[in-house]
């Protein structure tokens, strides 16, 4: 039996890692992609220990900022598993601090990872999906994509970029039978805050937080349904609708949340 195959960027940690386990448990063959090879190996051992019926696993070390690395990952996944059905373009990095005082290298890293990384992923998988007669590109954006967020502005703007991209790409690729889903992820318990760039180390306590596993299960279900966009919790929906209906109020609230403590 041919299994469906998923390529997950940022599979070494957090949501991407939970997606790798959830897709493998659901019987997908998984290609896990990230820079940290050791963490990808540990993930492979965990997938091997899953009960019968699990999919296979291939780790590919690479950087989403490099188009060649993603093209190589697609080639290796197809060589190993024979096809490629789903991309979860998940790799991302945050930034906390003001725009104008930031180190340019940090902002460049956010832009290159969160925007170029998604573009490289989508462009790398499309030829294979076209050749197969279809596929599914799932883009990890954020519930704050539609909110103006002072002190994490470039991060949110990068997510606004990929949400906009997802909507347009869905129409560009519909004749190729390739679905594109905008995943509007909200606050999730991962190492994201610890890994983010910038001088501000404040964490947003007191807000509802979901587990990476719950997000991953919802992404696996959505891989079958292929919705245009997906929100994950009532709180995420509140943030999304707040950005549409009361943008000024939401921006003020965001400023309070993200403003560095004196
Ligand atoms: N956690 C949240 O509250 C939250 C909310 C909304 C959206 N999101 C989004 O969810 C996604 C995953 O974040 P997370 O919460 O799981 O954070 P995380 O635990 O920090 O994981 C980030 C992943 O991205 C990978 N990555 C970063 N830069 C990369 C690069 N240049 N090339 C390849 N891989 C790279 C990291 O792997 P390596 O370091 O091994 O490369 C890691 O696997 C991000 O796009 C984030 O913006 C998260």
**To test the ligand 1 pocket, which listed residue (7, 9, 15) has its Cβ within 8 A of the most ligand atoms?**
15
Give the residue, by CA position, lying nearest to ligand 1 atom 46. Answer: 92
The 10s digit of each residue's pLDDT in 213-236 is: 999 999 999 999 999 999 999 999
For residues 152 and 258, the answer to whether their CB atoms sit within 8 Å is yes
**To test the ligand 1 pocket, which listed residue (91, 109, 138) has its Cβ within 8 A of the most ligand atoms?**
91
Domain count for the chain, please give it. Answer: 1
Distance of CA 101 to the CA centre of its chain: 27
Please report, to the nearest 10 degrees, the dihedral formed by the alpha carbons of residues 111, 148, 190, 22 taken in order.
-80
> What is the average pLDDT score of the chain?
95
pLDDT band (50, 70, 90) for residue 259: confident
Which secondary-structure segment (H or E) carries 68? Answer: helix 67-81
| CATH number of domain containing 83 | 3.40.50.720
In short, whether 35's Cβ falls inside 6 Å of ligand 1 is yes
Q: Which strands, in side-by-side order, build the sheet including 178-185?
A: 57-61, 29-34, 5-9, 86-89, 135-142, 178-185, 229-231
The 10s digit of each residue's pLDDT in 39-66 is: 999 999 999 999 988 999 999 999 999 9
In short, whether 242's Cβ falls inside 6 Å of ligand 1 is no
Point out the catalytic residue in the list 57, 95, 155, 258. Answer: 155
For residues 49 and 42, the answer to whether their CB atoms sit within 8 Å is no
In short, whether 34's Cβ falls inside 6 Å of ligand 1 is yes
For residues 233 and 186, the answer to whether their CB atoms sit within 8 Å is yes
Atom of ligand 1 nearest to the CA of 195: 20
pLDDT above 70 covers what percent of the chain?
Answer: 98
**How is residue 251 written in tokens?**
């921006």
Q: Up-side HSE of residue 215: CA atoms within 13 Å toward CB?
A: 28
Atom of ligand 1 nearest to the CA of 63: 32
Rounded to a whole number, what is the largest CA-CA distance in the chain?
A: 60
Q: Decide if pLDDT at 194 tops 80.
A: yes
**Per-residue model confidence (pLDDT) at position 1:** 63
Domain that holds residue 103: 5-258
Q: Decide if pLDDT at 262 tops 80.
A: no
User: How far apart are alpha carbons 224 and 244 in whole angstroms?
Assistant: 28
In short, whether 63's Cβ falls inside 6 Å of ligand 1 is yes
Does the annotation count 155 as an active-site position? Answer: yes
**Per-residue model confidence (pLDDT) at position 204:** 66
């Amino acid at each position: 039996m041919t299994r469906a195959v998923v390529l997950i960027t940022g599979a070494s940690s957090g949501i991407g890692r939970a997606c790798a386990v959830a897709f493998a448990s659901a019987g997908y063959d998984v290609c896990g992609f990230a820079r940290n090879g050791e963490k990808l190996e540990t993930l492979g051992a965990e997938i091997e220990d899953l009960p019968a019926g699990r999919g296979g696993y291939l780790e590919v070390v690479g950087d989403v900022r490099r188009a060649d690395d993603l093209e190589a990952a697609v080639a290796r996944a197809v060589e190993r598993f024979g096809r490629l059905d789903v991309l979860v373009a998940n790799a991302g990095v945050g930034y906390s601090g003001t725009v104008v005082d930031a180190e340019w290298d940090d902002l460049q890293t956010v832009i290159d990872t969160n925007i170029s990384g998604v573009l490289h992923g989508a462009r790398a998988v499309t030829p294979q999906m076209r050749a197969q007669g279809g596929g599914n590109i799932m883009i990890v954006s954020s519930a704050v994509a539609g909110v103006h967020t002072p002190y994490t502005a470039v991060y949110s703007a990068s997510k606004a970029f990929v949400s906009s991209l997802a909507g347009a790409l869905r129409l560009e690729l519909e004749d190729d039978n390739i679905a594109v889903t905008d995943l509007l992820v909200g606050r999730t318990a991962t190492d994201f805050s610890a890994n983010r760039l910038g001088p501000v180390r404040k964490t947003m306590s007191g807000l509802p937080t979901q587990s990476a596993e719950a997000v991953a299960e919802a992404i696996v279900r959505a891989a079958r349904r292929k919705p245009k966009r997906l929100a994950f919790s009532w709180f995420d929906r509140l943030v999304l609708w707040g950005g549409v209906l009361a943008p000024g109020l939401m921006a003020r609230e965001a400023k309070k949340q993200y403003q560095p403590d004196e």
